[in-house]
Structure 1
Amino acid sequence: MQQPDQPRTNQPIDARRLWDSLMDFAQIGATAKGGVRRLTLTDIDKRGRDRFRAECEALGLTVRVDAIGNMFARRPGRDPNRPPVLFGSHLDSQPSGGKFDGALGVLAGLEVMRSLNDLNIVTEAPLELINWTDEEGSRFGHSLMGSGVWAGVFGLDKAYALTDTEGQSVATALDAIGYRGDQPASPFNADAYFELHIEQGPILEREDRRIGIVTGAQSQVWYDMVTTGQDSHAGTTPPSARKDALVCAARIIDLVDRLMRARGDDGRGTVGQLLVTPNSRNVIPGEVRFSVEFRHPSDGQVDALDREFRPAAQAIADAGGIRLELTTLFRIPAQPFDAGCVDLVRQATTRLGYSAREIVSGAGHDAVYVARHVPTAMIFTPCKDGLSHNEAESIEPEQAQAGCQVLFEAVLARANRTL
């Protein structure tokens, strides 16, 4: 592993405090395998939100909550008329998630605020640290929910009406934990947005680079799919009479994999959720609901995947006598980040002496939607074996320190820039 870099700065963040904060927060929703289960808008999420609010207020920050539950913690600047510099990420997790996905960006942001207080630094522009609601999409089936509503990508009423597998709506869940805020969930005048995140891939570790300078995010399309056949007895129904919804779904899943692999290492195609009905050992499945998603750095390739996938999936269903429902959940075009903000990350990385490379994000992040309204950049740190959305997700303390230090430098430079 690369030897720890010593940041060349006379304004260092407190690396030990940052790591302790990450480890302490990981106890909220901790799992037996060392990960976290902090599903959005649950009682566990409320515990995390309450902790975040309390720690922000202890630093003198003013916390407000908008109608979709996004949390904004504001530190005043010397000039209250300047638009704020934003930074943050999310605190919700996958059902079997890791300690660092999302939480690193929020808690590193908290460390930035603490370090500014320690150093008695008053920035010219105000600063706002954000915890976005439901970035993961694992409970209500719609990722980037909080930032998506805020950015106007989809409406608040649509988000409120989404339900989990037990039928609870987003609106009800927000009320249940007390985080349906009174502020409008809509864009406001902001100067910039920075988001620190683990890479969730293997490139930085493979190349032994400390920092990823993220220039943008790739295009993606998500679908909800339902195959409907006929429940029937497993022992008495011959092949000629079967309408097996699961076999149809399996062949479509294989199609997803083949279309992905045809694009080489840049292709992405995944089925991550599968609900089989009636889910009985001796009954031929009559219905399967499942998710499909494709991603690629090129909008054109995602367009091509969409054009190929739809008729091919329909042909598979028709051949098996199965009814197919295909709903496009959302489409996110490739999103370049702001050149000026990216350059601030690049300058900070160079000034601090960290090894780095430019990289396109393979994952969707809140920054992708925020970038539609606010100049945006992201910072990546490596994670062990590129593993994420997994309880074994892991980073080293020195990697967290480096990412946080770059965030500190970039935020400070933007907030103090000459207008």
Structure 2
Amino acid sequence: MNTLQINTERLLSFISEMAHIGAKSNGGCNRQALTEEDRLGRELFLTWCHAIGGVSRLDSMGNLFVRFEGTNPTKLPVLMGSHLDTQPSGGNFDGIYGVLAALEVMYTLNDTNQKLVHPVEIVVWSNEEGCRFTPAMSGSGVFSGKLKQSDIYQSVDDQGISYQEALIASAQMGTEECQSFPFSAALELHIEQGPILEAEQKSIGIVTGVQGMNWYQVTVSGETTHAGPTPMLMRKDPVQALMAILPKIYAKVSEYGEQARITIGKLTTIPSSTNTVPEHVIFSLDLRHPTQKVLDSMSKEVLNLCQDIPSIFNSNIEQLWASPAIEFDPRCIDVIRCASTQLNMDAMPIVSGAGHDSVYLSSLGPTGMIFVPCKDGISHNEKEHVEPEHLVSGANVLLHSLILLAEEKES
């Protein structure tokens, strides 16, 4: 049995030093994509990579690749990584952990003079968070061919700065065209961003896939009038229609079991005035399920309910976004399971409720993800916290998953 372990102090030091760049007063981080802070974070990361022989390059979307050669240059690379950009009030682990743990894996192999047969490339995907430029995961999306670079270049932030302008200003515009290339396998280590692993007292989540997600905007329209003179029975108040719709759609989603999700994150009235009956009620609808056929069926039934309103009202539904459910590569899943067993880790299969760059990568080649628990399931928040022992456990599973993949491919 291979008992190689990562260097705990060095991994925690990597994470701690990165947290200083864009640090916020409550312990979190603001290092949004293609800002000066993002550039400085990547510069620090590259300093560490170059110290052990990593060779870096940037593509035209700002995706950063650092290559470590293997013993056989004809072999396809194994990719590891995630992202270094954060939410405006983000934590110190979301994305960052996956990049820096991959770096620590390469340091550990370097310390012990171990060279893998396959080359390894650590990837830092650009604009994963999508909080400055939309959509999220745009770097990996263009890389996979699912998004168009020309469209992303035109995306602007709240100050009117375009993605392309920010690429140039932050010195992240690479000379290499952003396009996919063959790889042997891809591994992404990430915090769970949910409460399941902690509740189940498991240190490792073997991610089997990612939920499908459908986003809609629903508008229910009635008639605006003064709040005082118009009797209740004579009103065409769309809020009343909404009150009838909501219990039905929540009940419908519950029929699809515990893996089904519904979220209404935005709710707006127009006009929005205390003493005016609104003409329109607009609400967002986020529907999720790990099985695509189930998601399709659930979405259809929910949307039908949104249209099942009295004739005095009108409803309009606009689809904002659709991300299909995906299943990760069985071989990668098995390798992560074997590594967890080899290290005597308490592990369980889990489906990701959030989107990740690995969603796009899985359309190109064998892809797998590893989760570790975060306290109270909190993420996208300055309170985001991961216990050191879980950080170390995840990095060790990543290390041994990488070794097993290389050995398996060579054999």
**Shorter-chain TM-score above 0.5:** yes
Shift in Å, 1:319 = 5.0
Q: Which residue of 2 aligns with 1:174?
A: 167
For 1:131 and 1:399, locate their aligned partners in 2 and report how far apart those are by CA, in whole Å: 22
- Residue 65 of structure 1 aligns to which amino acid in structure 2? L
- Structure 2 vs 1, CA of residues 43 and 325 (structure 1 numbering), >3 Å: closer, same or farther? farther
**Does the CA-based 8 Å contact 1:9-1:352 persist in structure 2?**
no
SS at match of 1:265: coil
Give the count of matched residue pairs. 409
SS at match of 1:304: helix
Q: Which residue of 1 aligns with 2:355?
A: 364
Does residue 67 (structure 1) correspond to residue 60 (structure 2)? The answer is yes
Shift in Å, 1:19 = 1.2
Greater mean alpha carbon deviation, residues 180-189 or residues 124-133: 180-189
**Does the CA-based 8 Å contact 1:67-1:185 persist in structure 2?**
yes
Shift in Å, 1:281 = 7.4
Correspondent of 1:348 among 334, 339, 348? 339
- Structure 2 vs 1, CA of residues 169 and 409 (structure 1 numbering), >3 Å: closer, same or farther? same
Q: Which residue of 2 aligns with 1:328?
A: 320
SS at match of 1:294: strand
Shift in Å, 1:46 = 2.4
**Does the CA-based 8 Å contact 1:126-1:415 persist in structure 2?**
no
Q: CA RMSD in A?
A: 3.1
For 1:250 and 1:276, locate their aligned partners in 2 and report how far apart those are by CA, in whole Å: 13
Greater mean alpha carbon deviation, residues 26-35 or residues 74-83: 26-35
Does residue 138 (structure 1) correspond to residue 131 (structure 2)? The answer is yes
Shift in Å, 1:413 = 2.3
**Does the CA-based 8 Å contact 2:256-2:298 persist in structure 1?**
no
Q: How does 1:100-115 map to 2 (within 5 A)?
A: 100-115=93-108
Q: Which residue of 1 aligns with 2:38?
A: 45
For 1:148 and 1:213, locate their aligned partners in 2 and report how far apart those are by CA, in whole Å: 23
For 2:246 and 2:43, locate their aligned partners in 1 and report how far apart those are by CA, in whole Å: 40
Q: State the Cα deviation string for residues 142-185 of structure 1 (Å, max 9, x = none).
A: 22221111111122122223333444332222223222222222
**Does the CA-based 8 Å contact 2:208-2:333 persist in structure 1?**
yes
**Does the CA-based 8 Å contact 1:253-1:271 persist in structure 2?**
no
SS at match of 1:221: strand
**Does the CA-based 8 Å contact 1:92-1:134 persist in structure 2?**
yes
Gaps of 5+ in 1: 1-7
Q: State the Cα deviation string for residues 59-114 of structure 1 (Å, max 9, x = none).
A: 32111111211111110111111110001111122233222111110110111121
- Structure 2 vs 1, CA of residues 281 and 375 (structure 1 numbering), >3 Å: closer, same or farther? same
SS at match of 1:402: helix
For 1:252 and 1:310, locate their aligned partners in 2 and report how far apart those are by CA, in whole Å: 10
**Does the CA-based 8 Å contact 1:83-1:126 persist in structure 2?**
yes
Q: Which residue of 2 aligns with 1:94?
A: 87
Correspondent of 1:388 among 363, 371, 379? 379
Q: State the Cα deviation string for residues 342-379 of structure 1 (Å, max 9, x = none).
A: 11111111111111112222222111210111111111
SS at match of 1:326: strand
Q: Which residue of 1 aligns with 2:290?
A: 297
- Structure 2 vs 1, CA of residues 239 and 141 (structure 1 numbering), >3 Å: closer, same or farther? farther
Does residue 217 (structure 1) correspond to residue 210 (structure 2)? The answer is yes
- Structure 2 vs 1, CA of residues 273 and 18 (structure 1 numbering), >3 Å: closer, same or farther? farther
Does residue 379 (structure 1) correspond to residue 370 (structure 2)? The answer is yes
- Structure 2 vs 1, CA of residues 91 and 226 (structure 1 numbering), >3 Å: closer, same or farther? farther
Greater mean alpha carbon deviation, residues 340-349 or residues 222-231: 222-231
**Does the CA-based 8 Å contact 1:110-1:129 persist in structure 2?**
yes
Q: Which residue of 2 aligns with 1:162?
A: 155
Shift in Å, 1:244 = 8.0
- Residue 368 of structure 1 aligns to which amino acid in structure 2? V
- Structure 2 vs 1, CA of residues 180 and 296 (structure 1 numbering), >3 Å: closer, same or farther? same
Correspondent of 1:129 among 115, 122, 125? 122
For 1:413 and 1:390, locate their aligned partners in 2 and report how far apart those are by CA, in whole Å: 35
Gaps of 5+ in 2: none
- Structure 2 vs 1, CA of residues 255 and 414 (structure 1 numbering), >3 Å: closer, same or farther? same
Identity %: 41
Correspondent of 1:402 among 393, 397, 402? 393
Q: How does 1:183-194 map to 2 (within 5 A)?
A: 183-194=176-187
Shift in Å, 1:249 = 8.0
- Residue 297 of structure 2 aligns to which amino acid in structure 1? A
Shift in Å, 1:391 = 2.0
For 2:227 and 2:72, locate their aligned partners in 1 and report how far apart those are by CA, in whole Å: 76
SS at match of 2:258: helix
SS at match of 2:369: strand
- Structure 2 vs 1, CA of residues 178 and 209 (structure 1 numbering), >3 Å: closer, same or farther? same
Greater mean alpha carbon deviation, residues 28-37 or residues 250-259: 250-259
- Structure 2 vs 1, CA of residues 71 and 228 (structure 1 numbering), >3 Å: closer, same or farther? farther
Does residue 413 (structure 1) correspond to residue 404 (structure 2)? The answer is yes
- Residue 389 of structure 1 aligns to which amino acid in structure 2? H
Q: Which residue of 1 aligns with 2:28?
A: 35
Shift in Å, 1:392 = 1.5
- Residue 334 of structure 1 aligns to which amino acid in structure 2? A
Shift in Å, 1:251 = 7.9
- Structure 2 vs 1, CA of residues 282 and 138 (structure 1 numbering), >3 Å: closer, same or farther? farther
- Structure 2 vs 1, CA of residues 311 and 401 (structure 1 numbering), >3 Å: closer, same or farther? same
SS at match of 1:342: helix
Shift in Å, 1:231 = 9.1
Correspondent of 2:328 among 328, 334, 337? 337
Shift in Å, 1:216 = 1.7
Q: State the Cα deviation string for residues 106-151 of structure 1 (Å, max 9, x = none).
A: 1101111211221111111110001112222223342222111111
For 1:40 and 1:245, locate their aligned partners in 2 and report how far apart those are by CA, in whole Å: 39
For 1:94 and 1:297, locate their aligned partners in 2 and report how far apart those are by CA, in whole Å: 25
Q: Which residue of 2 aligns with 1:26?
A: 19
- Residue 171 of structure 1 aligns to which amino acid in structure 2? Q
**Does the CA-based 8 Å contact 2:188-2:368 persist in structure 1?**
yes
Does residue 85 (structure 1) correspond to residue 91 (structure 2)? The answer is no
For 2:181 and 2:235, locate their aligned partners in 1 and report how far apart those are by CA, in whole Å: 56
